[in-house]
Chain A
Amino acid sequence: MTDVARNAPLTSLGKQLVAGSLSDLALMRATEATANYAILPWVNVVKIGGQSIMDRGRSAVYPLVEEIVSNLGRHKMILGTGAGTRARHIYSLAIDLGLPTGVLTVLGTAVAWQNAQMLHYLLAQHGIPFIEPEGFNTLPHYLMERHAVICQGMPPYKLWEPNPEKGRIPPQRTDTGCYLIAEVFGARKMIYVKDEDGLYTGDPKKNAAFEHIPRISVEELLERDLDDLIVERAVLEFMVRARNMREIQFVNGLKPGQLTAALNGEPVGTIIYRNGDPR
């Protein structure tokens, strides 16, 4: 087992990796200092909400599709979809049946997949493909040729989804799946298209008195420990550790032009950013 270390021209970190224990904190820290290479630095990951956009049907989806099409020549996009009300239904049913979180992930993934398929039918005439997680290696080609691809937003964890701290709902769902796509490719932007102007001090659907937050650091947001959020908590937790995606933006997909403005780099909606930069 030491042959690799003796014969191959490994870096000094490489020698430690081959010989040492991966649970050794000193070794983990040593990997910290390595360079970051952005795989697709020009791509924008755009997540289309399930309950907030897709479940509304034509009135919300058609104008958004039009806006996506009008941006095709100017911005390259990975379009991920959320799940929505059908996921809420099947989560309720599955919880009632005593099924574990991993099974809920398999079920919820199917709902995000349905929404991605529907979006795909609407964008098919523009040559935009739907790709499964297993087909992600073809993604650079489609982005160069057709400027966008569609995928379902759930990370492909299937039965391997870790349990949440409380309850049974999968903690890493479509917000997280899309964020991790942006992180791994070193994307230009991560934009969430929902049905609100961004983040509020509480759920604006339940109380109109909550205030809009145009810009906030992820550290401050975590510190506030709000009961409800516009985004899955896992996204905020990963943002703190991320090496590439230091900013995410939330826009209102029901207001024409907001997605375009965000793609153009304008500070619409809410921006959550990471303070300072330890990495």
Chain B
Amino acid sequence: MSLDDRGTQHVQSQLMCESLVDKGVIARTESPVCAILPDVNVIHIGGRSIMDRGRSALMPLLDEIVANQQQHRMIIGVGAGVRSRHIFSVGLDLGLPTGALAALSAKDAAQNAYMVSCLLAKHGFVYLEAPFVVQLLPAMLAAARGAVFNGIPPYSLWEHPPAVGKLPPHGGDAGSYLMAEVFGARSIILLKDVDGLCTADPKIDAQARLIPEITTQELTRQKFSTLPIEPVVVELMGRARLARTIRLINGLVPGNLTRALAGEEIGTVVRA
């Protein structure tokens, strides 16, 4: 420890006395990042695209997850769905801020994740809240067969103000993506109700064609009117250190998840 001439008690370090806002100091902190859980696959189950459809969509998917359990370690993020749309509507009508909407919406995804964990419980999956993901995920993966987590990141009242409008920018896709990035996961697979990214919204335009592969730069440049993933994920991928690709697949088609886990080129792969 040392005392500077202005009376601050310092601990010796590379960053001692430095301004962490200084661009030069920030640039010096660039170095390789290690993968914490390199063999884990992050699977994201969409809220509105899968969960809100109930049994017919979810059960075959969970069977497929269980069937792949021996070959692939998985942690499963689950998104919010139509209930969040409803509470956004009521919350906006009441004038509530973005952070409050984020705190409310996170509960919808938590409910969905909890239901998934109940359905997978007999196969040894556990539900982990954010503090337990931080403390216990590796232990849980050693002891349990897999884990289910709330896809929405725990930003709550601290959610970022969005660039446009008032809706929380970080939803389930973003949280699951950030899990894959921080753990250096083997893959991140997002399960939706469309085949991937298409030239137009396939629910509206029958002429829409699937785009099998695209870069984040191209995605940003083309300005799609709607996307099957949260736009913030594209932004986050621009700063990726480990999770440089994501795969979007149709979770309503049996076999798709198995193929994606096996590394087959299905759906859309987005590369940073």
Contacts and interface: CB of A to CB of B under 8 A. Distances in A.
B21 A229 contact: yes
B179 interface: yes
A32 B166 contact: yes
B233 to A, nearest CB: 10
B182 A88 contact: no
B90 A14 contact: yes
Interface string B18-29: 111111101111
Interface string A162-201: 1111111100010001001101111000000001000000
16 contacts: A10-B89, A17-B88, A30-B165, A55-B8, A85-B11, A85-B16, A88-B15, A100-B36, A101-B182, A156-B155, A156-B156, A157-B158, A160-B179, A164-B239, A177-B158, A238-B161
A34 interface: yes
B97 A163 contact: no
A209 interface: no
Interface of B: 6-24, 26-34, 36, 48, 52-53, 81-83, 85-86, 88-90, 92-100, 130-131, 133-134, 153-167, 171, 175, 178-179, 181-184, 201, 225-227, 229-231, 236, 239-242
A28 B82 contact: no
A85 B82 contact: no
Contacts of A8: 86
A136 B157 contact: yes
Contacts of B90: 14
Given A157-B158, A159-B178, 11 more contacts: A22-B167, A34-B92, A37-B94, A39-B100, A88-B11, A160-B175, A184-B99, A227-B24, A228-B21, A232-B21, A243-B98
Interface stretch (A64-72, A90-98, A122-130): A90-98
Interface string A44-56: 0000000110011
Given A18-B82, A95-B31, A158-B130, A23 B226 contact: yes
A92 B10 CA distance: 14
A89 B100 contact: no
A97 B153 CA distance: 25
B29 A169 contact: yes
A228 B179 contact: no
A24 B226 CA distance: 5
B10 A55 contact: yes
A93 B182 CA distance: 17
A208 interface: no
A201 to B, nearest CB: 14
A60 B11 CA distance: 18
A144 interface: no
A14 B156 contact: no
A215 interface: no
Given A21-B226, A159-B178, A164 B33 contact: no
A23 B19 CA distance: 37
B99 A11 contact: no
Nearest to A102: B182
Contact of A168 (B30, B82, B89, B183): B30
Contacts of A100: 33-34, 36, 181-182, 184, 241-242
Given A13-B89, A85-B9, A160 B158 contact: no
Contact of B95 (A36, A91, A103, A166): A36
B155 A34 contact: no
Nearest to B203: A21
Nearest to A242: B161
